[in-house]
Amino acid sequence: GAVVSQHPSRVICKSGTSVKIECRSLDFQATTMFWYRQFPKQSLMLMATSNEGSKATYEQGVEKDKFLINHASLTLSTLTVTSAHPEDSSFYICSARPGRAPVGYTFGSGTRLTVV
Amino acid sequence: AQKITQTQPGMFVQEKEAVTLDCTYDTSDPSYGLFWYKQPSSGEMIFLIYQGSYDQQNATEGRYSLNFQKARKSANLVISASQLGDSAMYFCAMSPTSTSGTYKYIFGTGTRLKVLA
């Protein structure tokens, strides 16, 4: 079945540093990927839509300069949290959809980011 | 504005019994999709079932079925013969149908299901 691989699964970084999270579609091509953020015991909030070969589309209230998204190939999208602060600590998860049929999206396993 | 409402923050069910997780939605889009996902404690999101707004029949996938009542704007998930492995967080999601094939989800707040032995 379709697999989306997300790395790292957990990362701890110091305030002020940058962290890159990778999202790869392993057995299908994904022109569009989505990045979500989930606070503890809360729902997933869409941050941005990553488009292969073009700029990402950010949701209202999401800082473009803080959350840099690059979708350089049909199988890889990256989210870089720049100048991380403790309030950026969260669970980040990406998703992509194999094929065009309206079936559910495949999600990565998520990245738990802790900024200390 | 689009909105998904899950009014049950937590549910308990006895093993082997059926359970219904509620989901209501609000949208002005004429065509949309409704989805249910399962999130175990490990964090990954597992797709369970999909219902299109124009589908005449309720969707079923194994032990999962979606009780779709369009007039009431509800899309409840029914899990039959609950198993201990069903214990997880369950999210209802909605997306307007897109001609480009891109579905932009709005998620509900989730229901935590605990299956009792």
For residue A109, list chain B residues with Cβ-Cβ distance below 8 A.
42-44
What was the pLDDT predicted at B98?
A: 66
CB B110, CB B94: distance < 8 Å: no
Residue B68 contacts A where some CB pair is shorter than 8 Å: no
Residue B10 contacts A where some CB pair is shorter than 8 Å: no
Tell me A41's DSSP state.
T
What was the pLDDT predicted at B18?
A: 98
Question: How many Cβ atoms from other residues are within 10 Å of residue B57's Cβ?
Answer: 8
The answer to whether B104 contacts A42, with C-beta atoms less than 8 Å apart, is no
**Could you report the per-residue pLDDT of B47-88, keeping only the tens digit for each?**
999 999 998 899 999 999 999 999 999 999 999 999 999 999
The first and second tokens of residue A108, run together, are: 């990565």
What was the pLDDT predicted at A103?
A: 65
What was the pLDDT predicted at A53?
A: 86
CB A6, CB A110: distance < 8 Å: yes
Is residue A104 over pLDDT 90?
no
Local confidence band at A102 (pLDDT 50, 70, 90 cut-offs): low
Is residue B112 over pLDDT 80?
yes
Q: Please give, rounded to a whole number of angstroms, the shortest distance from the CA of A101 to a CA of chain B.
A: 8
Local confidence band at A101 (pLDDT 50, 70, 90 cut-offs): low
**A77: alpha, beta or left? (left if phi > 0; alpha if psi -120 to 50):** beta
Q: Please give, rounded to a whole number of angstroms, the shortest distance from the CA of A108 to a CA of chain B.
A: 6
The stretch A82-100 carries a mean pLDDT of 90
**Could you report the per-residue pLDDT of A36-90, keeping only the tens digit for each?**
999 888 889 999 999 888 899 999 999 999 999 999 899 999 999 999 999 999 9
CB B37, CB B95: distance < 8 Å: no
**Nearest one of B30, B6, B2 to B94, comparing CA atoms:** B2
Tell whether omega for the bond before A8 is within 30 degrees of 0, i.e. cis: yes
The answer to whether A107 contacts B102, with C-beta atoms less than 8 Å apart, is no
The answer to whether B52 contacts A42, with C-beta atoms less than 8 Å apart, is no
Q: Please name every residue paired with B26 in a beta bridge, in sequence order, or none if there are none.
A: B3
**Nearest one of B78, B103, B82 to B93, comparing CA atoms:** B103
Tell me B86's DSSP state.
G
The whole-chain average pLDDT of chain B stands at: 92
Is residue B35 over pLDDT 60?
yes
Q: Please give, rounded to a whole number of angstroms, the shortest distance from the CA of A75 to a CA of chain B.
A: 16
Residue entry with tokens 């579609």: A25
- As a whole number of angstroms, the distance between CA B35 and CA A54 comes to 28
What was the pLDDT predicted at B81?
A: 97
